[in-house]
Amino acid sequence: MNRNQKCPKCGTWNLNKNNCASCGQLLNHEMKRQEEAQVKAEEIANRAPDKIDLFLDQMKHSPWWLVKGLYYLGFSIYTIFVAIASFFMMMIAWGPG
């Protein structure tokens, strides 16, 4: 398979190359997507956690049983609420179908 691609940066035609011969611009679209996904994953990994996440983590690992119990009570209520809401959304979506 011959791939004759024109570089979007410098306009040079390249035959069966992943990078431009003159400027080094990446031409392979799949490699571009992989590189962008890797950069995005690194940004997410290096991002500082939110204050809410830190607060909930402190509650979850608290040495006080009352604070830890409040965390698990809130988490249980949230989980039940999401399950009930998901059930009703499924029933609504099932009606027209």
Sign of CA dihedral 78, 80, 86, 92: negative
Q: Is the pLDDT of residue 1 over 60?
A: no
pLDDT tens by residue, 65-87: 999 999 999 999 999 999 999 99
Question: Which tokens in the block code for residue 6?
Answer: 């024109």
Question: Which tokens in the block code for residue 38?
Answer: 């890797």
Cα 96 to Cα 83, 85, 87, 92, distances in angstroms? 21, 18, 15, 8
Instruction: Scan for tokens 């570089």, then name that residue.
Output: 7
pLDDT tens by residue, 30-55: 888 999 999 999 998 898 889 999 99
Question: Which tokens in the block code for residue 15?
Answer: 């035959």
d(CA 41, CA 35): 10
Is this model's pTM higher than 0.75 or not? no
Q: Is 64 left (phi over 0), alpha (psi -120 to 50) or beta?
A: beta
Instruction: Scan for tokens 């290096």, then name that residue.
Output: 46
